[in-house]
Amino acid sequence: MPSCIPPHKIPGKLASGNDRLEMCRIAFEGSRFEISSIELDRGSKSYTVETLRELKKIYPDDELYFIIGSDMLSTFTQWYRWEEILSLAVIAAASRESGFKADLSAFTPQQKERIILLDIEPLEVSSTEIRGIIAKNGKNSDLIDSKILGYIKENALYDDGLNEYREIITAKLDAYRLHHSECVSECAATLAENYGADVEKARLAGLLHDVMKNADRAEHFKELDKAGLTLSRVELLNPKVWHQISGAAFLKNEGIVTDEEILGAVRWHTTGRANMTLLEKVVYIADFISADRDYPDVAVVRKLAQQSLEEAILYTSQYTIKKLVSAQLPVHPATVECYNDMAML
């Protein structure tokens, strides 16, 4: 049962309701599943309770089971008319990750009787991975049915215009870094939308920011030489900053990116600098708080990023400086200038 998304709210990357309905039909063809367009036919945002009421009218004598991800149980009591949902259907919670322990303390004994924890082996896969598979035409993956993939390609669904850039980074990065790049791209787009930066530039800059991250020393210096750039003594002593410089150089050398704003976002995403552009701030912070990040302070930075990019940059530049000092590594002058710039606002 595809949900309805009003047409004026459909971003270019999402499929229409009709396309999602057709893919459901293709996916479950020949099975005992029935595809429903109830929520699409409603033509507006649907609450679960409304859909269950309608299903109960259609199947008055049947017990309804509502399958959800087990992680949703933690917020279930915040759902609209959640108690009525429990009266209309038994909740069947399927684990999304191995070792998940459901917390049912918010429910009464009677309500717990309406909740089933499904003992199934979870398939841990993210939407980012699926998008990557689509971009590579489903190669080396059995996660997408070939018929569904064919429909997606035939109808140009989920094409955000970045697939040619994905081919470039796929040739240069390992699987971990590819996943991270997709996560930063998504996060940068969200931050850009929240703070008024160019969303598409942010999405592209986030995708390309680590293009040279897996390069060896020779590759870094090849791109730097082609661009007529030399590293400072501090930079030579800290190879972790090379990729931001060689990355921007590579993109410009090869004519992949000519937009100076995007190149700047790649160039300064690790060290930051004083007087950063809005796009540079967005990508810098997106790299710190993307969905795949799990360092100790990430929750703090994510919260700050919701309030102010500048506050988040102040915190992260200080975090970086402390980390480098504790490791007895030199601090890039641009990072110090970035911190000072934010501290004096």
CB-facing half-sphere around the CA of 303: CA atoms within 13 A: 4
Q: What is the DSSP letter of 67?
A: E
93 and 194 share one domain: no
The DSSP-derived string for 276-291 is --HHHHHHHHHHHH-T
Tell me what percent of the residues of the chain surpass a pLDDT of 70: 93
Rounded to an integer, what distance in angstroms lies between the CA atom of residue 272 and that of residue 342? 11
Name which of 165, 171, 274 is nearest 209 in CA terms. 165
| Interval 315-334: pLDDT, tens | 999 999 999 999 999 999 99
113 and 29 share one domain: yes
326 and 186 share one domain: yes
In a domain, 149, yes or no: no
- Torsion angle of alpha carbons 161, 164, 168, 171, nearest 10°? 120
Rounded to an integer, what distance in angstroms lies between the CA atom of residue 170 and that of residue 164? 10
In a domain, 114, yes or no: yes
Q: What is the mean pLDDT of the chain?
A: 91
pLDDT at 142 over 60: yes
Residue whose tokens read 């759902």: 79
What residues make up the domain containing 94?
7-127
Residue 172, burial from CB neighbour count under 10 angstroms (0-12, 13-18, 19+) = middle
Residue 239, burial from CB neighbour count under 10 angstroms (0-12, 13-18, 19+) = exposed
Instruction: Look at the chain and report how many structural domains it folds into.
Output: 2
168 and 265 share one domain: yes
In a domain, 37, yes or no: yes
pLDDT at 8 over 50: no
* Structural domain ending residue among the three candidates 127, 147, 177: 127
pLDDT at 212 over 80: yes
175 and 37 share one domain: no
Residues 6+ apart with CB under 8 A from 171: none
pLDDT at 4 over 90: no
* Structural domain ending residue among the three candidates 127, 155, 187: 127
Which of 129-133, 183-187, 208-212, 263-267 has the least mean pLDDT?
A: 129-133
335 and 261 share one domain: yes
With both helix axes pointing from N to C terminus, report the angle between 242-253 and 217-226 in degrees, rounded to the nearest 10: 50
pLDDT the model gives residue 274: 98
Rounded to an integer, what distance in angstroms lies between the CA atom of residue 5 and that of residue 1? 13
| 268 DSSP β-pair partners | none
Name which of 9, 4, 23, 47 is nearest 130 in CA terms. 23
Global model pTM greater than 0.95:
no
64 and 213 share one domain: no
264 and 319 share one domain: yes
Element (DSSP H or E) covering residue 66: strand 64-69
In a domain, 150, yes or no: no
* Structural domain ending residue among the three candidates 127, 147, 175: 127
In a domain, 139, yes or no: no
In a domain, 157, yes or no: no
| Interval 52-63: pLDDT, tens | 999 999 999 999
- Torsion angle of alpha carbons 290, 128, 158, 137, nearest 10°? 140
110 and 178 share one domain: no
Residues 6+ apart with CB under 8 A from 179: 126, 128, 129, 132, 292
Q: Residue 305 sits in a domain of what CATH number?
A: 1.10.3210.10
Mean pLDDT of the region 228-250: 97
Residues 6+ apart with CB under 8 A from 167: 135
261 and 334 share one domain: yes
pLDDT the model gives residue 128: 65
101 and 227 share one domain: no
pLDDT at 255 over 80: yes
| Interval 61-96: pLDDT, tens | 999 999 998 888 888 998 999 999 999 999 999 887
227 and 309 share one domain: yes
Q: Tell me the Ramachandran region of residue 16: left when phi exceeds 0, alpha when psi lies from -120 to 50, beta otherwise.
A: beta
Q: Residue 73 sits in a domain of what CATH number?
A: 3.40.50.620
pLDDT the model gives residue 140: 60
pLDDT the model gives residue 256: 97
In a domain, 141, yes or no: no
| Interval 107-138: pLDDT, tens | 999 999 999 998 888 777 777 677 777 766 76
